[in-house]
Amino acid sequence: MQKLSIELKNTPRNTPLVPCSVSSVLNRAERLSIQNRVLTDNNSEVDLRLPAGGPKAITPVFVLSRDGSPLMPCKPAKARHLVRDGRAKIVRRSPFTIQLLWDCERNIQPITLGIDPGYENIGFSAVTDQKELISGEVKLRSNMSKKLADRKMYRQTRRSRLWHREPRFNNRISSKKPGWLAPSIRHKLDSHIRLVEQIKKLLPISKVTVEVSNFNIQKIKNPNIQGIDYQKGEQLSFWNVREYVLHRDNHTCQKCKGKSKDKVLQVHHIRGKKEGATDRPEELLTVCKTCHRRHHKGIDLIPIKEIKDFKPETFMSTIRWKLIDLLTCNYTYGYITKHNRINLGLEKTHANDAFCIANGNGQFRTDPFNVIQKRKNIRRLQQNRRGHGISVRRRRHTYQSYDLVKVKSKVISIGGESGASVYFWDETGKEKSIIIKKLDDWHVNARTLVWRKKLKIA
């Protein structure tokens, strides 16, 4: 235990130097009125474990054995000595991980990993009885539907050139398979599984706990619903959605309020397809033909109102048991997590929720390790020089998108490689480029987070 020295105010000169608590109550002027200061030592481990999540601890360095299995992490000073003496090597820079070059004994402690799943963010925290080893958040991609639509467009364009290809209508049976999920939902589910597997490669996890949630969408919309009302939806006794929307709006244009003499009524999508528009009644509006045409010509736009969608709630209700079955782990509920977080006095974050899910109770905390999920490749054609056609880029460049490079001791994230240079964006958003030869001898791959030396260009 590191020895801490604190400065207590308002203490008499004749007070003996004895260990005491770091409680702010002892420093109040109502208790002691003499304005003096005395240094005292505090070695009590119980007092250091504060109720509000505990104090901050040094970010540990993850250690792998000679065969690649995870061991208990160590302090940065010890890792520095091992690397300097040639007894370990660096295998990752983010998070910092070393691998031992000699056979050592495997002394591990019970580690609990808490996962706070989500539609946009995943919180994780691994704790022992004494301290927290790793915590943070993973921000998932939100453009999967758009990219899937682009892939569909590229595939249809490519197959339209194959006139000799026979039509295949009976091979699309993925939706008929049991347990099938939409590609965008499957991607987010796989991201949760992949995160747990990556943490298990860094730490000897002995127990995994995941929070599960089930949301009642009808109860969220109408808190007073009960019994047979669940079978009576808002479109009851209507033939289709269009008929319901026209009846809801009293067959009146919601833009001009019936001032137009045009009697033809149409249904307008409040949001566009790029914004994720659907055919839900909440996203449809009754307008006349004139107002609808003027809107799409950009003359008089129809105001866009905020629409509440329930994609995160539906996602969590869909994958909760699939996630538990794939991980074969324990589970807890959201109200338990909220109760524990309030008792610890922690603010509402995904990392703090994961800390409570892992049964955290005042352990030493670490700084959060935040990760943003990026795409690996860019699905686009390569533009050749002027006068030539477009071809597919077949060579994989050394420098890819979001790689980290160092320029004059400053670390920057690049957008990719173009010829003998790499391009990036400065603080103002302006695109700039720099020759690869001018880069420092330091490069971090965004996909594997592994450091490697810069390749020399002849």
Q: What is the CATH number of domain 49-154+182-215+310-373?
A: 3.30.420
More confident residue, 31 or 301: 301
The model's pLDDT over 135-187, given as tens digits with 9 standing for 90+, comes to 999 999 988 888 888 888 878 887 777 666 666 666 565 556 777 888 889 99
The secondary structure element, H or E, covering residue 290 is helix 289-296
Does residue 449 contact residue 413 with C-beta atoms inside 8 Å? no
pTM (2 decimals)?
0.73
Residue in this structure with the two tokens 């289709």, named with its chain if needed: 240
Q: What is the strand order of the sheet 61-64 is part of?
A: 70-74, 61-64, 96-100, 88-93
Mean pLDDT confidence for 22-28: 36
Domain spans, the chain: 4-48, 49-154+182-215+310-373, 231-296, 382-452
Place of tokens 């639509």: 149
1, pLDDT greater than 60: no
Kindly report, residue by residue over 284-300, the tens digit of the pLDDT. 999 998 889 888 888 88
- SS3 per residue for 95-129: CEEEEECCCCCCCCCCCEEEEECCCCEEEEEEECC
Binned at pLDDT 50, 70 and 90, residue 59 comes out as: confident
Closest CA to 127 of 72, 77, 75: 72
d(CA 89, CA 249) in angstroms, rounded, equals 69
357-390: pLDDT as tens digits = 999 988 889 989 888 887 766 655 555 556 566 5
Nearest-angstrom CA–CA distance, 99 and 66: 6
Evaluate if residue 31 carries a pLDDT over 60. no
Residues facing residue 114 across a β-bridge: 125, 209
pLDDT digits (tens, 9 = 90+) for 94-142: 889 999 999 988 889 999 999 999 999 999 999 999 999 999 999 999 8
Per-residue pLDDT band for 56 (boundaries 50, 70, 90) equals low
Between 132-136, 345-349, 439-443, the lowest mean confidence (pLDDT) is in 439-443
**Residue 242 and residue 248: Cα distance in Å, rounded?**
10
- 288, 253 Cβ separation under 8 angstroms: yes
User: How far does the chain reach from its first CA to its final CA, in angstroms?
Assistant: 54
pLDDT band at 30 (very low <50, low <70, confident <90, very high): very low
Would you report the helix, strand and coil content of the chain in percent, each value rounded to 5? 25, 25, 50
SS3 250: coil
Identify the band that residue 76 occupies on the pLDDT scale cut at 50, 70 and 90: very high
The pLDDT value recorded for residue 45 is 33
Which of 101, 75, 72, 70 shows the shortest CA–CA distance to 86?
Answer: 101
Question: What is the model's pLDDT at position 362?
Answer: 83
- Residue 37's DSSP bridge partners are 9
Give pLDDT, residue 120.
Answer: 93
